[in-house]
Amino acid sequence: MSRLTSCELNIDGLVGPTHNYGGLSYGNVASQNNCQVASNPREAARQGLAKMKALMDMGYAQAVLAPQERPDVHALRACGFTGSDAQVIEKAAREAMPLLVASCSASSMWTANAATVSPSADTADGRVHFTASNLNCKFHRSIEHPTTSRVLAAMFADERYFAHHAALPAVSQFGDEGAANHTRLCRDYGERGVEFFVFGRSAFDLRLPAPQRYPARQTLEASQAVARLHGLADDAVVFAQQNPAVVDQGVFHNDVIAVGNGQVLFHHEDAFLDSERVAGELGDKLARLGGQLQSVCVPRHVLGVEDAVRSYLFNSQLLSRADGRMLLVVPEECRGNPRVWAYLQTLLGSDGPIAEVRAFDLKQSMQNGGGPACLRLRVALQAEELAAMNPGVMLTPELYERLLQWVDRHYRDRLSEHDLADPQLLDECRTALDELTLILDLGAVYPFQLI
């Protein structure tokens, strides 16, 4: 890393001890279809760590984002439950089990929703900017951002290089789902790039269409607010609307239908409301910065939106290789879909920018609707910024082995809805997280540590 002037850091969410299938995410087909299936938190954490290690071994900069304290007793108290922590959990299980399930969600594992990040090359003050996502479309996710903000601040603490913004107002008009609806196109990670914000609806401009079946979680107004907070210039920002029809088919975030990296945008033909105009604006703005957009568009007659949602083809990591071409990291479900796998073989033989495909077993995450792209947050860093961040969160062979041992020591290998009512689960989670903050050198970031 010392030889590089800039890089893209992948930060993967470490799956939490309460990973379960609560069916909490309306609009996410996999989440709904696997509701109340028994989960395996230990296997889920190991699958995520295996992907992190594989990318680290390939030379990619890789870091770890700590999970949240769950169940969230503070959230349950805010909903009227009283008594000791154990009594709060017991009462919630007896009187409002769906609320207890929501308070136990391990959804922070999908780090693409943690925040929106703009690198220093793009911002007015020359610092890396982070805005934690309010995630206010779903209760179980709306309770994440206070802890997310503390964890990110502990990872990127040096104010000379990093600026942190609080989540946007927690109202529907400013629904913000983070980097799942944001990507960045650039010639080089250290150079100025074009920041691409995709929204599902406008809160105030009712002339724009909106989905009819499933909610549009990202608003235009939220994306615009983040761009202002980060000090982004108008000539290097593009706002585009998701195609409402694909949202209603289960494309709840843009990263389920499109992924970008460097100068490449890999997307489905129906991803955007006006795909031709979007590609044209992206291409024009990138060209003014010395780049050249390479659009890899998958036609609807080759793959339908249903295949994209079932396989999570586009919810993949698109990573730059040393030779200038790209690696596509896909979930194993892509191999299991004959049409998708056949398309990928054709893609590899096309001599285009994507030269390699690797499939990973992420079944525990996929059953809840999260693939490789959901599991990671990308942060473009200059060499001095990378050196200024907390080194304790950077994945190394030693940290990988230590985290595996930590998972095996603290995680259950089976979790059902009934198990969430066990007050002992909270004690197990707190014990595990208390140890994790020491392993990652985060300091006190959890509510139970701040009392």
Q: Which residues are catalytic?
A: 177, 253, 374
73 Cα distance to chain centroid? 24
Helices H / strands E in the chain, number of each: 17, 15
Residues contacting 78, CB < 8 A, separation 6+: none
CB distance 364 to 102 below 8 Å: no
Helices 423-439 + 397-410 axis angle, to 10: 160
| Whole-number Å distance between alpha carbons of 262 and 326 | 9
List, as one string, the DSSP characters of 346-405: HHHTTTSSEEEEEEE--HHHHTTT--TTTTEEEEEEEHHHHHHS-GGGB--HHHHHHHHH
Residue 108: φ, ψ to 5°:
-65, -10
For the annotated binding site for substrate, the residues are 22-31, 113, 140-141, 217, 255, 368
For the annotated binding site, the residues are 22-31, 113, 140-141, 217, 255, 368
The single residue listed with the structure tokens 């990263």 is: 255
Nearest CA to 109 out of 66, 161, 80, 167 is that of: 66
The single residue listed with the structure tokens 């003050």 is: 125
Q: Other CB atoms closer than 10 Å to residue 341's CB: what's the count?
A: 18
* Sheet-wide strand order for 6-13: 62-65, 6-13, 376-382
Q: Which residues pair with 378 in a beta bridge?
A: 10
- 229-234 — which CB contacts under 8 Å span 24+ positions? 229/129, 229/131, 229/165, 230/116, 230/118, 230/122, 230/123, 230/129, 230/131, 230/165, 231/123, 231/124, 231/125, 231/129, 232/118, 232/122, 232/123, 232/124, 232/195, 233/122, 233/124
CB distance 385 to 356 below 8 Å: no
